[in-house]
Amino acid sequence: MRVGIIGGGFGLKVQAPIIKIHPLMKITAVSTMKRHQLPEELLSGENPPAHYQNWMDMLYKEELELLFVSSIPIYHFEMVKYALQRGINVVCEKPFTKDSKESNELLELSKQNNAKVIIDFEWRYFSIRQKIKELIFNNAIGKLIHLEYHISSPQYQHLISNKRGWMGEKRKFGGMLGALGTHMIDCLRWLTSEEIENVNGLVYTHVPMGAGEYRDADDAFFIHGKMKCNTTFSLQLLSGINHGFGSNLKIFGSIGTISLSNDKTLLFGKANEQLEVINVEQRKGPVHLTDEANAYYPAFYPFLERVYDYIVYNRIDEDLPTILDGHENQVVIDKIFGV
């Protein structure tokens, strides 16, 4: 499969080295801005990928079967639209688009051009999260009552001392709701197999100034609501603080409870019993990968395998996040922002 990548950050540092491991995928072209240099490991071997500074040139000249859109979010709509018009399948980073009007237009365009769009909600494929979905599916905790998903990351000193660039700009769709909140919203929809019916939220910037830079994109958000199945939920993220407690997901059911800490420690217990640890073996990446790429490998590689099957054989895994998931996610974000 001939693969192209747009984006010199996450696309080059994380996605490219993992895609290169897949035996049936070959990165034939990459488009990045002038300042980005292709890593040596990507250039090694026979027929290294062509390097374009203009992504439109790449899509016009290369015969791609799959495109990874990993640019900053403000360009997602234009890039995905152009790819779909040329019949190219796409894996798009999140946030998918600016709003649900754009995501709905891409949804219709994908149908018209018979091109597939997958959203990079690869967290679904962490084996420990797959175990949670299995427990819920097998009714281990009964009827879902409430999901609580809170993240706190001690980034205050970093935010004061370092520039955020586009991540601090609301007009470029920066902010933590787009960066991590989209994953958290997707987690709710995926685990419950339901849509969000009611949602209220507050996005906030605790550290609007730092390193001589003004930011208006959120570094915190507080969201609560109800799924159509009447399961309630609470999502929260804090980053402008000095001490954090990581990622904590708690799922309360009518006959039991599940708790996940930092995607490493999984606890499960029936009613009137103690929570006990469930050990889940995590997939490990090749030793040559960087620490950053290795952190994503356990989820991103199985995600790639499902993407390949979907595009080549039209076999869609029930957990694969499609363009419909991207659109529904955007509908929720619109409501939070009051669009």
Domains of the chain: 1-122+286-339 (3.40.50.720), 127-281 (3.30.360.10)
Alpha carbon distance 306, 125 (integer Å): 10
CA distances from 23 to 40, 220, 225, 313 (A): 19, 40, 43, 16
Can you give the pTM of this predicted structure?
0.95
263: alpha, beta or left? (left if phi > 0; alpha if psi -120 to 50):
left
With a CB cutoff of 8 Å and minimum separation 6, the contacts of 202 are: 221, 222, 223
DSSP string, 65-133: SEEEE-S-GGGHHHHHHHHHHTT-EEEE-SS--SSHHHHHHHHHHHHHTT--EEE--GGGG-HHHHHHH
Alpha carbon distance 128, 283 (integer Å): 10
Low-confidence stretches of the chain (pLDDT < 70) are 34-37, 43
DSSP state of 170: G
Query: Is residue 68 a contact partner of residue 7, using CB atoms and an 8 Å limit?
Result: yes
Residue 264, SS3 per DSSP = coil
The string of pLDDT tens digits covering residues 149-172 is: 999 999 999 999 999 999 999 999
The string of pLDDT tens digits covering residues 33-59 is: 765 667 777 767 778 899 999 999 999
